[in-house]
Structure 1
Amino acid sequence: MIRHVVLFRWRAGFDPGDWLERVRALPERIPQLRSLDAGPDVLGADRSWDAAVVADFDRLDDVAAYTDHPAHRPLIAISGAGAEQIASVDFEIPDHPEDQP
């Protein structure tokens, strides 16, 4: 399984409400998504980012299909316009706990 994590720091004045609603609707529109969670930071610590998206996929090819999907592309544009910073990481998670070192 591939876990895709994206962190956002929003520009002052950006309201991510519509963006978040649309992100949370992606699993209904993109079949390659195994799961998706998204939300604003609730801690507000100095090192906190404003929001995160965590999505799981079966394969790397599924991440590529998600990235280029017509339902996802407009959200990339909104994120880019509203974000001061965006960070992401994609990493592999073994499907079975016994496969972990």
Structure 2
Amino acid sequence: MFKLKETLAADVKAQVMNDFKAAIEALPATIPFIRRIFVGLNMNPAEQWDICLESEFDSLDDVKAYAVHPDHVAAAGILKDVKADRSCVDFEC
């Protein structure tokens, strides 16, 4: 999950969120070991987090490869200057 800086104007925040969603959800086309990926955008401004990212991989090694893949790094860079916080849980089903 990601929280964006509270100082962002609403229109800028919405644009960044939509750009991030589009970039992340396009990644399976270039990173074939992504089994599933989805970005949810918070619609309730009273909640703590702005973006939720859910992804599925076959192994922790695939997660690690995804983290450093140049296309993922570029997509993640969309939030570089506007991210206030990040929370992550990697788990096995």
Which structure is higher in helix share?
2
Tell me the TM-score normalized by structure 1: 0.75
Residue pairs, 1:61-76, within 5 angstroms: 61-76=61-76
Is 2:19–2:78's contact at 8 Å kept on the other side of the alignment?
A: no
Shift of 1:80: 2.6
Residue pairs, 1:10-89, within 5 angstroms: 10-11=4-5, 12-13=8-9, 14=13, 15-16=15-16, 17-42=18-43, 44=44, 46-89=46-89
Query: Which structure 2 segments of 5+ residues have no match?
Result: none
Identity over aligned residues, as a percent?
A: 31
Rg larger for: 1
The alignment yields a C-alpha RMSD, in angstroms, of 1.6
Is 2:20–2:76's contact at 8 Å kept on the other side of the alignment?
A: no
Which structure is higher in strand share?
1
Shift of 1:47: 4.1
- Answer 1 or 2: higher relative contact order, Cα 8 Å, separation at least 6: 1
Rounded Cα–Cα distance in structure 2 between residues aligned with 1:91 and 1:46: 28
Matched residue count: 86
Query: Which structure 1 segments of 5+ residues have no match?
Result: 1-6, 94-101
Moved over 4 A (4+): none
